[in-house]
Chains A and B, each alone.
Chain A
Amino acid sequence: MKLTVWTYEGPPHIGAMRVAASMDGLHYVLHAPQGDTYADLLFTMIERRKSRPPVTYTTFQARDLGTDTAELFKTTARDAYERFTPEAMIVGASCTAELLQDDPGGITKAIGLPIPVIPLELPAYQKKENWGAAETLYRLVRTFASAPVERTPIAGRRSTCNILGPTSLGFRNRDDLVEIERLLERIGVDVNVVAPLGARPSDLARLGHADFNVVLYPEVAETAARWLSKTFDQPLVTTVPIGVGATRDFVREVAEIAGVDAASILDDESSRLPWYSRSIDSTYLTGKRVFVFGDATHALAAARVATEELGFTLVGLGTYSRERAREVRAAANEYGLEALITDDHLAVESAVDALQPELVLGTQMERHIAKRLSIPCAVISSPVHVQDFPARYSPQMGFEGSNVIFDTWVHPLMMGLEEHLLGMFREDFEFADGAGASHLASEQAPVAASRSLAWTADAEKELKKIPFFVRGKARRNTESFAKDQHLSEITVETLYEAKAHFSR
């Protein structure tokens, strides 16, 4: 058993739901108790989806356990077919139903529905949401894309590709897809099939016609992409185009496979990040200590953008995607760090607390951690919340995505000039307590409950003169310094001793 308060990923059947909800003409019949229907609100509330996700739950109750839950599954599957007449159906069990061992696949096969039925085995006590999504997509792809395909050589025609991985509830997937489709269009590549977002089961049958696959979100797409690559001899584009550098790499990779010259696209006029980052106002970004945590794809991309494109210093890198721990470890190594691989948000919190970064790039979970520690934060990855589905177009991928990233990461930090002014006027009464730059909510750092160290009145007053956005750090540094020195009291002297100590 594992003690958990918040989780980065839901159970694997939520991943399957995300795939089902991404597609048209596919229905998911899930053997599950009534409470599991909460999952619908992820789609209707968080994503503001306009229709219920295409999922029917058996909602068995205790009284059914004694009788026949298998029978209930059978009627539910039959009724769902009649009501929704999907092109294909996926069937499976949630955690509770897995224990009942009713065999949803076998039952559905026995009723002989006139459509393909794909049974899903998603071990709920072992695996999690992203794995569930990847497995579901893989099963679907294997079922529908198995016919052999003859392709003509690319030379002399426009090439085509599949885009794999965008899903419902994925972090900015909706807009990323638009951005990448536009980019491919400019490179001169046609999109054959996008899956799962917007695909029908019958579209999956055409996957083999493409010349290559773009693996946009490896967490969801990698298993299916590997199989496609092997089966249809399709190369994979695996660069995830987040950030200017990665977008350029992506363009080069695609252009090479497609056999076209894409040099003109590399220095896109609308790509403002490179100049904004070089403009002098951004000087203050130099060496900002940044902590990055998220799914592997977004964490790796954020680390690269943070260091190569914004000139930050990476002080922590981690992921909850255990499936991709190796890659993240290797990357962290390159940055001279040890990766934090965990799905325990408390471990992330203590890492952030210990490192005291100046910016946290993480999930909604890290946003809360950072808020508690009064550290600026931007969200870069799932798990998502309603505010991660903004009304405006705001991709993370491609050149426009980089522009969005520049804005959203820099915004929580002090504007360069403003920081400067704050330093100059820190003696001014207006800044004396918690008056921050106008674009920042003036939020007081929560004072830790048990402070064993006493601050003298003078020291406390001196501390208040320090701008609020570094005050928490100054307090913590001073206290830890005092503790190391076995001091029982903190004076103004101690404050500056500590400052000197830490600035070495």
Chain B
Amino acid sequence: MSALPVLHERGQREVFCGLTGIMWLHRKIQDAFFLIVGSRTCAHLMQSAAGVMIFAEPRFATAIIEDRDLAGLADSNEELDRVVSDLVARRPEIKTLFLVGSCPSEVIKLDLGRAAARLSQRLNAVRVLAYSGSGIETTFTEGEDACLEALVPEMPTLATKTRPSLLVVGALPDVVEDQFARMFSALGIEDVGFLPARSVDALPPVGPDTRYLLAQPFLGRTAHALEERGARHLPATFPFGVEGTTSWLRAAADAFGVRSGRFDEVVGPPAKRATRAIAHYAELLEGKRVFFFPDSQLEIPIARFLTREMGVQLIEVGAPYIHRDHMARELALLPRDVTLSEGQDVERQLDRCRAAAPDIAVCGLGLANPLEVEGITTKWSIELVFTPLHGYEQAGDLAELFARPLNRRSRLEV
């Protein structure tokens, strides 16, 4: 079967930059602090994008580059060292500090990798790492990819053993992580690590005996770094919906020699539960026409779930980037008549969306209300990232997420 054709778009992109990943990473990695080295725009993005001011002093901040840093009056490296010292003095509980690069820090070629090495040495109680979340390098979830990539060299080396060990890659809500850990344990796969770990001090080991599953579809660079350390990928669909989760778990079960009887025993009950949970929504979603604007790279796996398990008709599935390898199994499951687009020209895409008049458009926060005004029901794509949706127990929530806007529309009489 030949590959689906892809519409490559280049124009205005209406997506967040990789800095936004800090929103969930700082909550997941509990001993880490994220210091953006950037501009007032970066700080403003962080406070506008998720409305997270509620956390008194969150574990992130921005070192705002000022005029004097640019005019060369202040040595940027010295300035950065000063800001970091102040920060560490105020927040002594910080064990790991990420220096997060932004567009301005990259354009002025501030070498944060070097700065991290220097600061790590100076502050021996704090591990300092660097990655870029800049908008010229990373799109939204790619910030997590860059962060995890930076963590890979910090992972201890896995001792050579007779049996391989399993690594699950991609930040998952704790509740989902725990569910998967229980599943693997029930399958008899005892040696399981998660990247990122809840604390940088507890990073799982990695080595040639590592087999890794990707829990998120946007981790190309992290996967590459893991391969460099000898780990091997277990190709699978992503664990969304019943089908995706089963095939994902099966990839691990096969690699770890789990008997198929045992697999069915362990996976059967939750898979059945999930099937029941989504059935109700399938009635509502069946035949509905869905249009995805690019956002998180979760679009393709979720579109696959919607079409195969909910009977949704896909019109266009846009992704900011399509990792041909990691996405291969997903793409093979998509119907042949879907328009796949990569990159974005938001105005032209809006034209296509209006012309198609879908039942649901999945889009970013900047587009949602204007589309609703035009009569198109929307689902905010950011929820796909912020809501626990992976695995069997969340399959119902995933379906509900798409059913809710339709449900709401049907209730309102004014």
Against A, the Cβ 8 Å flags (1 = close, 0 = not) of B55-78 are: 011101111111101100010100
B189 an interface residue at 8 Å Cβ cutoff?
Answer: no
A354 an interface residue at 8 Å Cβ cutoff?
Answer: no
In the assembly, what is the distance between CA of A33 and CA of B19, in Å?
13
In the assembly, what is the distance between CA of A49 and CA of B14, in Å?
17
Size category of the A interface is 35 or more
Contact status B137-A124, CB under 8 Å? no
- Contacts of A2 on B, CB cut-off 8 Å? 63-64, 66, 83
Contact status A44-B369, CB under 8 Å? yes
Binds B, one of A7-15, A248-256, A279-287, A416-424: A7-15
Tell me the chain A residues, 109-125 only, with Cβ under 8 Å from chain B.
123-125
Binds A, one of B42-50, B215-223, B271-279: B42-50
Contact status B45-A35, CB under 8 Å? yes
- Contacts of A5 on B, CB cut-off 8 Å? 43, 57-58, 60-62
* Chain A residue nearest to B54 in the complex (CB): A368
In the assembly, what is the distance between CA of A52 and CA of B372, in Å?
12
In the assembly, what is the distance between CA of A57 and CA of B345, in Å?
11
Contact status B136-A3, CB under 8 Å? no
- Contacts of B11 on A, CB cut-off 8 Å? 59, 79
Assess A99 versus B107: contact at CB under 8 Å? Given A1-B66, A5-B58, A35-B19: yes
A441 an interface residue at 8 Å Cβ cutoff?
Answer: no
Contact status B104-A59, CB under 8 Å? no
Tell me the chain B residues, 360-398 only, with Cβ under 8 Å from chain A.
364-370, 373
Contact status A10-B41, CB under 8 Å? yes
* Chain A residue nearest to B63 in the complex (CB): A1
Pick from B20, B86, B104: contact of A96, CB under 8 Å: B104
- Contacts of B347 on A, CB cut-off 8 Å? 79, 83
A95 an interface residue at 8 Å Cβ cutoff?
Answer: yes
* Chain A residue nearest to B80 in the complex (CB): A1
- Contacts of B134 on A, CB cut-off 8 Å? 33, 35, 62
- Contacts of B41 on A, CB cut-off 8 Å? 10-11, 13, 36, 94-96, 124
A51 an interface residue at 8 Å Cβ cutoff?
Answer: yes
Chain B: minimal CB distance from A57 (Å): 5
A56 an interface residue at 8 Å Cβ cutoff?
Answer: yes
Contact status B45-A38, CB under 8 Å? yes
Assess A124 versus B40: contact at CB under 8 Å? Given A33-B135, A61-B136: yes
Chain A: minimal CB distance from B36 (Å): 9
B233 an interface residue at 8 Å Cβ cutoff?
Answer: no
In the assembly, what is the distance between CA of A52 and CA of B367, in Å?
7
Pick from B62, B67, B373: contact of A4, CB under 8 Å: B62
Contact status B86-A44, CB under 8 Å? no
Contact status A368-B53, CB under 8 Å? yes
Tell me the chain B residues, 71-107 only, with Cβ under 8 Å from chain A.
74, 76, 79-80, 82-83, 86-87, 103-104, 106-107
- Contacts of B61 on A, CB cut-off 8 Å? 3-5
Q: How many B residues face the partner with a CB closer than 8 A?
A: 63
* Chain A residue nearest to B45 in the complex (CB): A38
A230 an interface residue at 8 Å Cβ cutoff?
Answer: no
In the assembly, what is the distance between CA of A76 and CA of B345, in Å?
11
Chain B: minimal CB distance from A472 (Å): 15
Contact status B45-A95, CB under 8 Å? no
Contact status B49-A44, CB under 8 Å? no
Pick from A34, A50, A64, A125: contact of B66, CB under 8 Å: A125
A100 an interface residue at 8 Å Cβ cutoff?
Answer: yes
Chain B: minimal CB distance from A461 (Å): 29
* Chain B residue nearest to A2 in the complex (CB): B64
B139 an interface residue at 8 Å Cβ cutoff?
Answer: yes
Residue among B47, B69, B364 facing the most chain A CB atoms (10 A cut-off):
B47
* Chain A residue nearest to B368 in the complex (CB): A44
B179 an interface residue at 8 Å Cβ cutoff?
Answer: no
Contact status A41-B106, CB under 8 Å? no
- Contacts of B137 on A, CB cut-off 8 Å? 61-62
In the assembly, what is the distance between CA of A490 and CA of B362, in Å?
59
* Chain B residue nearest to A369 in the complex (CB): B56
Chain A: minimal CB distance from B33 (Å): 11
Pick from A35, A41, A95: contact of B17, CB under 8 Å: A35
Interchain Cβ contacts under 8 Å between A and B, 22 examples: A1-B66, A1-B80, A1-B83, A3-B63, A4-B43, A4-B63, A7-B44, A35-B135, A40-B14, A45-B368, A61-B136, A79-B347, A83-B347, A96-B107, A96-B135, A99-B108, A123-B67, A124-B40, A126-B67, A128-B40, A364-B53, A368-B56
Q: Which 6 A-B pairs have CB atoms at the shortest separation, nearest pair first?
A: A35-B17, A35-B135, A40-B366, A33-B135, A96-B103, A95-B39
Seed contacts A61-B136, A123-B67; 5 additional CB < 8 Å A-B pairs = A3-B87, A33-B17, A50-B370, A368-B53, A372-B56
